[in-house]
A and B are shown apart, each in its own frame.
Chain A
Amino acid sequence: MSDKILNDRGLVIRHDLIELVEHWAIALSGLLLLVTGIFELPMANRYYITSLPGLSWSGDFITSLYIHYIASVVFIAAAVFHLLYHGILGEGGMIPRRGDLKSSIEVMKSFFGKGEEPPFHKYLPEQRLAYVGMAFIIAMLILSGLVKTYKNLYAPDMSLTLVLWATWTHNIFFMLFIMAFVAHIGAILLKPNRPMIRGIFTGTVRLDYARHRHPLWIKEMDPRPVDEIKMKLEPVDKV
């Protein structure tokens, strides 16, 4: 975490390079896992996906599984890295705080014009809740996926109870992963959240946006009184 105000450029560093690499490693490998996971269902041939240009392989379950495995290596390694790296460094900005649920409801209401948003820290309360939800989904997918992979390699005659647990956990959390992914994309498309999109590509967000919506985060980085800072930032606010 190297959050920093870049007054001269009117920006705030929101994500460092490691966080960007983590996010995109999990996002892109997750997307590939999602697609190859769908192709592990006997659907590609039935739905003529195999006829689409460049997707003739989609009906080959072994090829899909191979790609699923490749994506899993990246996905699992990145997820475990994320947990340990930020855990050891004590970076818990995305861990939900007391009152997040209530605040999330208020924020959601404000999206539809009811009431005003409360001031935010670096992350929105619903982001913190969504993070824990997504982390749980990912953890269950990884755990069940590892059991399934072990079965494929070493123990095809593994206990049926364990196999059924792993399979159905994987299938159910796969559905939840799709829903969480759609919700994630939906959230960033909401107008008030759009300024955060550049953050996940470039690592920085606009300072005026951060001051307006994330004053508690800005205060953590720059504890000067807000009025004083506002006076200094007058030209930037007009950008």
Chain B
Amino acid sequence: MSADKKAGLNRRAFLKVSTGVAAAGAGVVLPGKGFAAGGKPLATLIDLSRCDGCPGKEIPACVGACRTINRDKIPKIHEPIPEPWPRKTIEDWSKKREVFNRLTPYNFIYVHQAEIDDRGQKRTVFVPRRCMHCDNPACATICPFSANHKYENGAVVIDQELCFGGAKCKTVCPWAIPQRQSGVGIYLHILPSLAGNGVMYKCDLCNDRLREGKLPGCVEACPQQAMLIGNRKEIYALAEERARAMKGFIYGKKENGGTATLYVSPVSFSALNGTMKKQPGTPDMGPAERRMAKTDKMGKAVLQAPLYGIAVGVAGAFMALSRRKDRVKGGDDSHE
């Protein structure tokens, strides 16, 4: 078996899938042991032409698998939850754990049902939504405690032992993905009323499972193989291939400066976005600029700043030395 096939990339099978020909078991990318741990960048593909929302199931398979895996992730909530001061926002989902139709600290993925009028035809498209695992995620890079980190394999993971729940990551995320649970985390042991407010939770791409050579729960559980994970370059190529074959569209390639999650859809994302209302826990699919890009130019100037100091410092010192020498020489001359 070739390396590509071992990694699960059977392109012919993918094309069959994308053109509607059944190919059970094809197209699932198996990372294999060491694949993710070796730091190779991964990407996931979510093929909306394949997702059917799991009809007949109470909870879509991807959502159910994710909930099972992360069931015991959040420790016991401190009762009563300390009241933050002066803004008294408490977010407690511990008594609403059953909610699965939006993102919550207990639910990292949900499936949006979009009713689309596609060229005069009514069509239902199911859109699994979770963290996009951005290429340059502001949620991680500007986390004040580096509690949120992007790993070499592309997974953006919040360390719940280090997170203070300030929700900065949610504020800077174009989709406001991370969700807060108050009453847990390190802040309880420091100044619970004055700083911090819980822990932020979101999809971590099942990074622990990836390290063990397993698939993320959602990818593994999908009965339609609508979700794939694999080598980033190959997933990107595959997304292009599928989009071409279905004359469809891609979302996630450029959004927020690029992500490790590519959606491929037979209907446009502007049409899909029209069915979505951006509100807490339910992100939209609109254009998402990378706001941090505005700071890149100045960031580069910061990295160059030591050189500015060196150039001016050395030049200035030698000019001063030269003046000093002239003064001494002038003084000597006057003695002659």
Contact = CB atoms under 8 A, between A and B. Distances in A.
B142 to A, nearest CB: 6
A69 B309 contact: no
Interface string A142-178: 1001100111110011001001101110010000000
A94 B252 CA distance: 55
Interface in B186-234: 195, 197
Interface residues of A, number: 49
Nearest to B149: A160
Given A152-B142, A156-B140, A157-B152, A146 B302 contact: yes
A95 interface: no
Nearest to B154: A157
Contacts of A80: 305-306, 308-310, 313
Main secondary structure on A side of the interface with B: helix
A85 B316 contact: yes
Nearest to B144: A41
A154 B298 CA distance: 13
A81 B195 CA distance: 38
A144 B296 CA distance: 18
Contacts of B151: 157, 160
B276 to A, nearest CB: 24
A167 B149 CA distance: 12
Given A61-B171, A157-B151, A150 B303 contact: yes
A46 interface: yes
Interface string B299-331: 111110110111011101110110000000000
Nearest to A78: B309
Contacts, number: 142
A40 B166 CA distance: 11
B147 to A, nearest CB: 9
B302 A66 contact: no
B166 A41 contact: yes
A145 B320 CA distance: 31
B318 A88 contact: yes
Given A62-B172, A76-B309, A85-B316, A164 B146 contact: yes
B86 A46 contact: yes
Given A73-B308, A84-B309, A62 B294 contact: yes
B317 A156 contact: no
A66 B317 contact: no
Contacts of B171: 42, 61
A87 B313 CA distance: 9
A207 to B, nearest CB: 23
A69 B302 contact: yes
Interface in A61-81: 61-62, 65-66, 69-70, 72-73, 75-81
B313 A171 contact: no
A222 B313 CA distance: 29
A45 interface: yes
A84 B142 contact: no
A231 interface: no
A110 B154 CA distance: 60
Interface of B: 84, 86-87, 135-138, 140-142, 144-146, 149-152, 154, 166-168, 171-172, 195, 197, 291-292, 294-296, 298-303, 305-306, 308-310, 312-314, 316-318, 320-321
Given A73-B308, A86-B317, 12 more contacts: A42-B171, A46-B87, A62-B138, A62-B295, A77-B305, A80-B305, A81-B312, A83-B313, A89-B320, A152-B136, A153-B303, A167-B146
